[in-house]
Structure 1
Amino acid sequence: MTKKITVVCWNFERNGKNDRDLRRQGHTLVAQYNPQLVLRQEMPGADENGAAVMYELEDVLGLRGWLGPGACTAIFADQKAFRTVREWPQTGPMWVLPPTALTMRYLPAGRDAMPMVVSSFHLNYASTTTRAAETEWLTTFADKRWTTSEGETVRIPALLGGDANSYPEPSGLKEPALPALHSIRDQPHRAHRSYLEAEARRMDTRPDEILCTAGLHDVAVHCADRAGGSTAALAPTVDACDTHGPDARIDRVYATEELLSAISDVDVIRVRPEMSDHHALRLTLDSDLLADILNRHPVSSFTRSGRSAKGSLSAIG
């Protein structure tokens, strides 16, 4: 088993712009990085013809795929590393493009280890209000529980990645700045990416603020901010254009705090514009550290003899 886990998060424009050859090229590009998890956004048509597109993409990636509600998002996973033990098809009432959410076991950690929640999300394009509500529901994936054989419940870690269609709160590090409203030439898009607060127009960072308030961390900021960290983690995932304005870090991955020590690197895989309007975000985790984290059960999940108690999943949360 590899000593590292690679996660790729990518909004692949209209799943290859409805072009089979382009779609295969895009996923062949992703497969070159040997990912164990792929979080995909924009999956139109993947549920048609008996989900033929999903099976084709599984073959290209060499991974098992799960398509979320409405063929909006998907997760692909290496079955030698991750095994799904529960799906979360009910994602809340507010979603325009529903996320895919799974509770997964990291198999090298062992059967007694905690599982974790993995989600691929795509926040609404046009409404700051809808994005805020969607993000509030997204936080529920960081509040899933695991029940031990003794009946104790513990909150399990979460890893959430996707297209936030909004901006991160400025970190003070070297990353794309929040755009000035006038730098977005397309006037409707000015409304899509900003909101009115105290009689002033503010660029929308609320999804980032909501996720951080809920105890989730932007992994790129975490990686860049630590000693020896590289600002490559903070590279833009969408290039400047007339409609959207300057370069922006629209696509982001968030993790609950206990996972942070396993993160070894974050960078951006640049994609040529004729393939997609978004670059891909790559997250690398240390396999051994992840296994250790998932085996650090709280005191309540251990037997009196100190041996780890086997557990099962709970629908709590």
Structure 2
Amino acid sequence: MLINAAICNFENNGGGDRALWQWMHDRLASLDLHLLLRQEVWNAQDNGNELADAAEAVLGMAGLIGPECCTALYHDPDLFTQVGEIPKTGPMWVLPPTVRTLQLAGSAPGAVPLIVGSYHLNYCSTTTRLAEAEWLTKWNDKWVKDGDRYVHYPALLGGDNNSYPVAGTPGEPALPVLEEIRDEPHRAHRSYVRPDGVRRMDDRPDDTLRTAGLHDVARHLVATTGDTSAVAPTVDACDTHGPDARIDRIYVSKQLLPAVREVEVVDMTGLSDHHTVVVRLDRDTLTDILNRPLTRAA
């Protein structure tokens, strides 16, 4: 069995267009998802939780709407059981992430849970994005005392990075040329000045996450299988913001990589300004990983 986990930035949660909202959620339901990491879940809790409840019904999943309806997490209750919610995710978030720990059904007694987090890095500040990415790294540093040892909880994190992956992966969209971005404020939003005074496109969140031992599942699949469809653009070119880009990404702790089987970028043209990324994990391999966690002496 494959476990399907997806990230979806649904622009403005449909912007009040209920038919568009329904179309998007029907599309997501058709992907047979077991985990869904949502961004831009605006107004989900208005009118007595109307959209939040409707999303759970359409998706057939249990949901958790994060602070200020910025992000949300959904899980298949037949496959995952919520162990905990982690509300303290750092002090500086503009769009707070949603993070919870989930126990996989069928794992052994004493197996570790999976940390799952949906995030949305800041749109206009490279400085804030870098700080937010640094705080995300804490979820790959979760060691919990278990008798005479500490065990490591692996993480699966995904969302809208509003920045670029470090260049070098075959088949990946090229970084934009700063001067060719027509919208001048967007030039500032997506670039930073190096110590040598040269302005370059912002890839620092990706570098920070990778330095902390989190791995981009799409990049991993290209390296191990050569399937470059995994690094297809998640945002299409436009006149103001520049060329195609891979803004939406899923990162996992290194020990989860053996479970990665496929990565697909699902075209959401007409539904959102971001495409959806799905990673498919082998359930048996994931179960074994959670049953045999990384350990260190107490």
TM-score normalised per structure 2: 0.96
CA spacing shift, 1:203–1:141, aligned 2, 3 Å: same
1:166 to 163, 168, 181: 163
- Matches of residues 145-156 of structure 1 in structure 2 within 5 Å? 145-148=143-146, 150=147, 152-156=149-153
- Tell me what 1:296 maps to: 292
**Whole-Å separation in 2 of the counterparts to 1:114 and 1:229:** 32
Consecutive unaligned residues of structure 1, counting only runs of 5 or more, are 302-317
Aligned 8 A contact 2:152 2:293 in 1: no
Q: In structure 2, the residue corresponding to 1:297 is in which secondary structure?
A: coil
- Tell me what 2:233 maps to: 236
**Whole-Å separation in 1 of the counterparts to 2:155 and 2:191:** 28
Q: In structure 2, the residue corresponding to 1:137 is in which secondary structure?
A: helix
- Tell me what 2:181 maps to: 184
CA spacing shift, 1:29–1:153, aligned 2, 3 Å: same
- Tell me what 1:49 maps to: 47
Deviation at 1:243, TM superposition (A): 1.9
**Whole-Å separation in 1 of the counterparts to 2:285 and 2:97:** 27
Aligned 8 A contact 1:171 1:221 in 2: no
What is the aligned-residue RMSD (CA, Å)?
1.3
- Matches of residues 59-74 of structure 1 in structure 2 within 5 Å? 59-74=57-72
| Letter of the structure 1 residue corresponding to residue 202 of structure 2 | D
- Matches of residues 200-279 of structure 1 in structure 2 within 5 Å? 200-226=198-224, 228-272=225-269, 274-279=270-275
- Tell me what 1:285 maps to: 281
Deviations 1:119-171 (A, max 9, x none): 000000000000001111111111223332x2532221000000000000013
Consecutive unaligned residues of structure 2, counting only runs of 5 or more, are none
Q: In structure 2, the residue corresponding to 1:112 is in which secondary structure?
A: coil
Q: In structure 2, the residue corresponding to 1:108 is in which secondary structure?
A: coil
Deviation at 1:76, TM superposition (A): 0.4
Deviation at 1:300, TM superposition (A): 5.8
CA spacing shift, 1:18–1:145, aligned 2, 3 Å: farther
Q: In structure 1, the residue corresponding to 2:289 is in which secondary structure?
A: helix
CA spacing shift, 1:213–1:299, aligned 2, 3 Å: closer
Aligned 8 A contact 1:123 1:163 in 2: yes
- Matches of residues 70-89 of structure 1 in structure 2 within 5 Å? 70-89=68-87
Aligned 8 A contact 2:176 2:243 in 1: yes
**Whole-Å separation in 2 of the counterparts to 1:285 and 1:80:** 16
Aligned 8 A contact 2:7 2:38 in 1: yes
Deviating 4+ runs (over 4 angstroms): 298-301
| Letter of the structure 1 residue corresponding to residue 244 of structure 2 | D
**Whole-Å separation in 1 of the counterparts to 2:142 and 2:48:** 31
Deviation at 1:48, TM superposition (A): 1.7
| Letter of the structure 2 residue corresponding to residue 146 of structure 1 | V
Q: Identical aligned pairs, as a percentage? A: 51
**Whole-Å separation in 2 of the counterparts to 1:229 and 1:67:** 36
| Letter of the structure 2 residue corresponding to residue 29 of structure 1 | R
**Whole-Å separation in 2 of the counterparts to 1:299 and 1:138:** 21
- Tell me what 2:28 maps to: 30
Matched, 1:9 2:7: yes
**Whole-Å separation in 2 of the counterparts to 1:194 and 1:156:** 34
Aligned length: 296
Q: In structure 2, the residue corresponding to 1:49 is in which secondary structure?
A: helix
TM-score normalised per structure 1: 0.91
Deviations 1:3-48 (A, max 9, x none): 1100111100011122111111101101111000000000110122
**Whole-Å separation in 2 of the counterparts to 1:200 and 1:101:** 36
Q: In structure 1, the residue corresponding to 2:278 is in which secondary structure?
A: strand
**Whole-Å separation in 2 of the counterparts to 1:298 and 1:189:** 42
